[in-house]
Amino acid sequence: MDIQHIATKTRIIAAGALAAATLAFAACGGGNDTDTSDAGVATSAPAATSPAAPTAVGDATVAAEPTEPATGTIATTKLNLNTAAGEDYLAAIPGFSDRMVREFLEYKPYVSIQQFRQELGKYVDDAQIAEWEQYVYVPVDVNNADAETLMQLPGVDETTAGELIAGRDFASNDAFLQKLAEYVSADDATAAASLLATE
């Protein structure tokens, strides 16, 4: 066995020993606070300094604030069922078909979300309609909207809708929004303005 062959074997043995030592060092924590328990993924960064995960809203993904969730942003991504054109639906709603564009347009103008559900329920099931409602809305007439239509507004549940109906008639959309602000967050009340029918 010549000297060159011996030197090569020595380098291979030394490299193997170094690799083993490195793995043993990492398994013991490596001398720092990095958590390697999750398949070797470091998770030592403090959660407070990490950006919040994006939140899916309607057909858009909106980055959430670290300390306060983004609320009300869904209103700006929804399509008005009484003014949207066919190409708007095709662009905004995943997997939407030309046939359904015709059905959406046929029943305009919509006066309530329940009307939308009833008419489109002739063609698809409730689950599909609920999926579509993430992307569309019926403009809310503050003095005539039923409870279900009012519940399209951010933060409005059945109880709040009942309170708003009991508080009618509103002199204007602004008067309605002032009342709404008694029940929902300021962000939700601001977002609701874009879902109201024009006066």
Rounded to two decimals, the pTM is: 0.62
H/E stretch holding 137 reads strand 136-137
Tens-binned pLDDT, residue by residue, of the chain (199 aa): 544 444 444 454 544 544 444 444 444 444 444 443 333 232 323 333 333 333 343 333 333 333 333 343 343 489 999 999 999 999 999 999 999 999 999 999 999 999 999 999 999 999 999 999 999 999 999 999 999 999 999 999 999 999 999 999 999 999 999 999 999 999 999 999 999 999 8
Map out the domains of the chain as residue ranges. Answer: 3-44, 55-195
| Contact partners, residue 97, CB within 8 Å, separation at least 6 | none
Task: Give the span between the Cα atoms of 199 and 42, in whole angstroms.
Answer: 56
Task: Give the span between the Cα atoms of 151 and 117, in whole angstroms.
Answer: 14
* 196 and 138 Cβ atoms separated by less than 8 Å: no
Q: Residue 7: phi, psi to the nearest 5? A: -65, -40
Q: Look up residue 167 and give its amino acid.
A: G
Task: Give the span between the Cα atoms of 137 and 79, in whole angstroms.
Answer: 6
